[in-house]
Amino acid sequence: QVQLVESGGGSVQAGGSLRLSCAASGYTFSSNYLGWFRQTPGKEREGVAVIYTRTGDTYYADSVKGRFTISRDNAKNTLYLQMNSLKPEDTAMYYCAARSAFGRISRALGHYNYNYWGQGTLVTVSS
């Protein structure tokens, strides 16, 4: 049974930093897509950052490029999202997600490509 558990969310002032972690159990990090998504009330879940662990390729939403960095530690089965220069518009519930099917996909940031999800961790950025 796959379980993804996020941590590291919290409240921070604009310009600050946070690092989110996602600990996985029942799932190995090799050869697949893992990512971070976020959602605010009334809006569709948005892909923030994804990594294809087979090649190390990373994908970022335009709104976070240059500020967020996704990484993983295979030995610890943990995914990270380093968030710097945070803005109030980054406020959201952040979810870790993993894909079970193998092979390349065309839209790595599409939430519909992922079938394992964590419970979310809240990030609040104040101005």
List pLDDT tens digits, range 75-115: 899 999 999 999 999 999 999 999 988 888 999 999 999 99
Residues 6+ apart with CB under 8 A from 14: 86, 87, 88, 125, 126, 127
Mean per-residue pLDDT, 41-58: 95
Q: How many CB atoms lie within 10 A of CB 65?
A: 10
Q: Write down the pLDDT at residue 97.
A: 97
Residues of the chain with pLDDT > 90, as a percent, come to: 83
Q: Write down the pLDDT at residue 99.
A: 93
Q: Could you give the 3-state DSSP secondary structure of residue 116?
A: strand
Q: Write down the pLDDT at residue 103.
A: 87
Mean per-residue pLDDT, 25-53: 92
Give CB contacts under 8 A, 24+ apart, made by 48-53: 48/81, 48/94, 48/109, 49/81, 50/108, 50/109, 51/79, 52/104, 52/108, 53/29
